[in-house]
Amino acid sequence: MRLAQRLFISHFLLTAVLLGAAGFAGVALVRITALLTSVREEQFGTLQEEETLHQAAWEVEVAARQGILACEQGPSAGRNVAGAMRSNLVELDRLLAEHHTAVSPGLLQAAKDYRDYAQQVAQGDACSLLLSPERREQRLVFDQRLTEAWISSIHALHQAVKEREAEAYAIGATAIVVGGVLGGFALLAAWGVARWVARGVAHPLALLTAQAHRVGQGDFTPLHPVKGPDEVQTLSTELERMRERLGELGRLKDAFVASVSHDLRTPLTRLRAALGLMADGTAGPLTEQQQRMLTLARSACEREIRLVTALLDMSRMKSGKALRFESGCKLDDILQRALENVQAEADEAGVPLKLEAEGHLPPATLDAVLIERALTNLLSNAIRASSQGQRVHVVCSLSGQGPPAPSGPGPWARILVRDEGPGVPQEVRSRLFEPFFTRPVGTRGAPPGIGLGLPLAREMMRAHGGDVALLEAPPPGATFALWVALDRAGASPSPSPPPGDPLPPRTA
């Protein structure tokens, strides 16, 4: 599935949920509006008709009261009173005929009573009827009925409004609950869609980033296939093709370096032998100036031989050729030979070497040549980083704890190489073991190496199941640790500090 399709599905799902919530809210709003309309059209319409009829009946009551006052002032007012009553009677009859089916029975009966009363007053002796105690008492009863009927109508309207209001509240509460449920579902859907997109896009991209970093570090092992959108799979395919091409170019480079190094080793060895014979005086005596030039030539030849040897060792390690294991190798003897290899370099730099052995190391099955070269590389780096008068400390101990990386059970031989130089800057620690990475160190102006010492030492030790690492130790200087897996049988490791601990106090 392509990325555009994934995004369309995710956006469509969320949009559908939001549209559902909006649609339900719209339905609730329409229902509430319908309730308000029904209240206005039904209840308020009926109340308006009842109000008109009530007003007409009340006009009869008002006319009767005004007639009583007029009649009390003089009997001659009866004709005017009867005329006013007839006028009110006409309006009341019209409204009764128009609204008799819409108004409440109580109000209708009260209006009819007032109509009958008005007819009697209008057709007879108005003043005598109005001033009659019986008629007055009867009119009070009519007034009470009319008032009770109007109050009943208002109460009915209030009850209807309360019922509609309760229905509206119920609809609103249902809308809120449904909206909350849909909102929660939308949040869950958004979270699920985000995880789905992350799994489908972000996770494969993170894997591709890690694989690209691994390829950039020179690891050309086959890449694992990455699942995801078509675009990500295409990128993974291109990355695998690039890895294959880079691996092929790396193999061609290694083969070329190995071939050139092998072709250079023989003439360099012959040149070293010839220079040695000349230095011994075999070809005749040498002057002091010739002897000095010969020393420089021998030093340059030895440096080139070490470079060629390092390149050959690197090619051998990368080609995966089997190690030349020998049983019964004594690590103490290997360490002594490594110290002898760098003794001349240490003497020239004015850097004393101090060995501190903690216990006896049992024999082991090792490739002694590679272990010696790894130790020589560490010692040579420590000497190069030291100034005149600073010491290089070598501590050899038996430990039950291996390197920081996952490793098997002990015993282990741990060799610490510590110098008293300026230390390793924080910004280059992550690149120390990259092939051909160099940086000038120390204060005596020693030229930097070719950047193969530490990488070769680590490759050689990892081929033995061990490792080489830079420890976090207090200044001055830097401390490198080398772990060698010893024979498991017949060894009982003595207690020793863990790999990250500093060296024991230095002795004079």
Kindly report the three-state secondary structure assignment for every residue of 358-410: ECCCCCEEECHHHHHHHHHHHHHHHHHCCCCCCCEEEEEEEECCCCCCCCCCC
**CA trace torsion 31, 33, 35, 38 (10° rounding):** -130
Same-fold call for 3-191 versus 322-485: no
Helix (H) or strand (E) holding 329: strand 326-329
Higher pLDDT, 34 or 58: 58
> What pLDDT digit, counting tens, does each position of 189-214 carry?
777 777 776 677 777 788 888 888 87
pLDDT band at 77 (very low <50, low <70, confident <90, very high): low
CB count within 10 Å of CB 167 equals 15
> What pLDDT digit, counting tens, does each position of 91-128 carry?
888 888 887 777 788 888 888 888 888 888 888 777 88
Which stretches within 280-330 are classed as H helix? 288-319
Q: What is the CA radius of gyration of the chain?
A: 55
Cis peptide before 411 (omega within 30 of 0): yes
CB 419 within 8 A of CB 390: yes
Q: What pLDDT was estimated at residue 436? A: 75
Domain residue spans of the chain? 3-191, 220-321, 322-485
Helix (H) or strand (E) holding 414: strand 412-418
CATH code reported for the domain at 322-485: 3.30.565.10
The pLDDT > 70 percentage for the chain reads: 81
Spatial separation of the C-alpha atoms in residues 120 and 452, rounded to whole Å = 133
Tokens of 363: 């024999």
Q: For residue 271, how far is the Cα from the chain centroid? A: 62
What is the CATH T-level fold of the domain 220-321, as seen in this structure?
Answer: Helix Hairpins (1.10.287)
CB count within 10 Å of CB 72 equals 12
CB 14 within 8 A of CB 186: yes
Q: Is the pLDDT of residue 508 over 60?
A: no
How many residues would you count in the chain? 508
Question: Phi, psi at residue 439, to the nearest 5°?
Answer: -160, 130
Q: Is the pLDDT of residue 32 over 50?
A: yes
Spatial separation of the C-alpha atoms in residues 100 and 104, rounded to whole Å = 9
CATH code reported for the domain at 3-191: 1.20.120
CB count within 10 Å of CB 113 equals 19
Question: Phi, psi at residue 327, to the nearest 5°?
Answer: -80, 155
Could you say which DSSP state residue 217 is in?
A: T
Q: What pLDDT was estimated at residue 258? A: 64
